[in-house]
Amino acid sequence: MLKLKTMVNLKFRTMRNAKSYWGITALFLLGLFSACGEDKDNAATNSDVDINNPEIEAFATSEKWNNYLVAATDELYKDCLKLWAAWAGPDALTDEEKAIVSSDFWTSSELNAPNGYASIVKNPGNAIYPSGINAIEATIIQGTIDIAGEVGAQKIGGPYGFAVAEDYVSAVLEVESWYSWNSITDYSDNIVSIRNSYFGGIGSTTAQTNSLSGFVKEIDPGLDAEISAAINAAYTGIKTMDMPFRNNLTGPKVVAAMEACAALETIYEEKLLKLVDEQGRSYNFVPILTKYADDVVVKTYEDMKNKAKALKDAAKNYADNPSNQRLSAACNAWKATRIPWEQSEAFLIGPADILGLDPSLDSWPLDQDDILTILKDNSFNTVEEILDAISRDDNVCGFHTIELLLFNNGQDRTVK
């Protein structure tokens, strides 16, 4: 049974909680339905809901629409570059990248990491991380608690709560990535971010040298096995849900995925934190923190930065000479860039939060009214004019605005 304490402990990120009421209420409903053995499958009703905005759709693949796409992908690339640069430090950038990121970026009052944020994580005993144990708890452990709770209770639980209440329009609107039908991939990649952080490497499924899993396994092999199984259960539970999620918002598979995420969150909160508190006081966590920062965080963000550049180039290539083939290439580039972003959500600490890059990159739900305003406003026509408009509002740029511009009802758009 899902532990209702999650309702209190869950920390939703600021720009994503416009409808978080149902994310929390879903936990209560989940407890009721699980206890009673009842959960009506509303998939057919969900699939009947059409929530495309016809006024927005009227602009689809027009010249202004394509200029918006170029502007939004350019802005996304710059944000991805800044996020990677903030962690990696100034010496990692090429001359071309340094022309985009200002020279005082790392010493700004907001970031204050002259050698990159990774150096702060790797060298505890500073104002942010007073000790190694504090750094481990604040980064790997708390990051997992936050994203496991968010995936289960908000990303899945939010739409589930609306659907159970038979508010199907709100349910579908609450589904992240419903334009592309990429939701289940998004959510499972969030669990991959937990797995990479725990095992100490991108794509790792067992303990790597100098990993948190290795530390736990040395002290309590049973707990390491339990954590590994919980991570796998959450991942498998999400992958087992019927696709697309926007059409299959309730049912036993959805309940099982939410419960698996809650169980993972609970193990970290009640068992892993206790172990680290009791056994880690004299332990040198610097090697674990170094591998985590260098091999997981920085490499994930570097991959995202490179793929965002490819997406920017694909969008420009399409807009310069529109064709369905070029548009599909941009769609594929969006999906490729989405993977490392979702696989970074267990470590949205430091720069992602301090610099406001998380909401700029991934605000949800979108403000379709503001997007329509930009499309209808004749003072925003060129790429430069649209860039100026979207740089002032997180809800009209980022991954999901680009998703809207590229996809419709789970399919690549086609040129009109």
Does residue 40 have a pLDDT over 80? no
Report DSSP letters for 211-274, one per residue.
-HHHHHHHH-HHHHHHHHHHHHHHHHHHHHSPSSGGG---SHHHHHHHHHHHHHHHHIIIIIHH
pLDDT of residue 31: 52
pLDDT band at 30 (very low <50, low <70, confident <90, very high): low
Tell me, yes or no, whether 40 lies in a domain. Answer: no
State the distance between the two ends of the chain, measured CA to CA, in whole angstroms: 50
3-state secondary structure at position 182: coil
**For range 247-275, the mean pLDDT:** 98
Tell me, yes or no, whether 329 lies in a domain. Answer: yes
Residue at token pair 């700029």: 360
Same domain, yes or no, for 244 and 147? yes
Cα separation, 174 vs 365, in Å, equals 7
Tell me, yes or no, whether 38 lies in a domain. Answer: no
CA 46 to chain centre: 24
**For range 354-378, the mean pLDDT:** 93
Same domain, yes or no, for 271 and 299? no
Same domain, yes or no, for 269 and 153? yes
Query: Domain range spanning residue 151?
Result: 128-284
Does residue 46 have a pLDDT over 80? no
Does residue 262 have a pLDDT over 70? yes
pLDDT band at 19 (very low <50, low <70, confident <90, very high): very low
Tell me, yes or no, whether 145 lies in a domain. Answer: yes
Tell me, yes or no, whether 9 lies in a domain. Answer: no
Same domain, yes or no, for 250 and 140? yes
pTM for the full model? 0.91
Cα separation, 390 vs 370, in Å, equals 10
Answer for the pair 314, 326: CB distance below 8 angstroms, yes or no.
yes
Angle, helix 20-36 to helix 157-164, in steps of 10 degrees: 70
Average pLDDT, whole number, for the chain?
Answer: 90
Same domain, yes or no, for 132 and 269? yes
Domain count, the chain: 2
Residue at token pair 């009214």: 369
Same domain, yes or no, for 189 and 295? no
pLDDT band at 1 (very low <50, low <70, confident <90, very high): very low
pLDDT of residue 44: 43
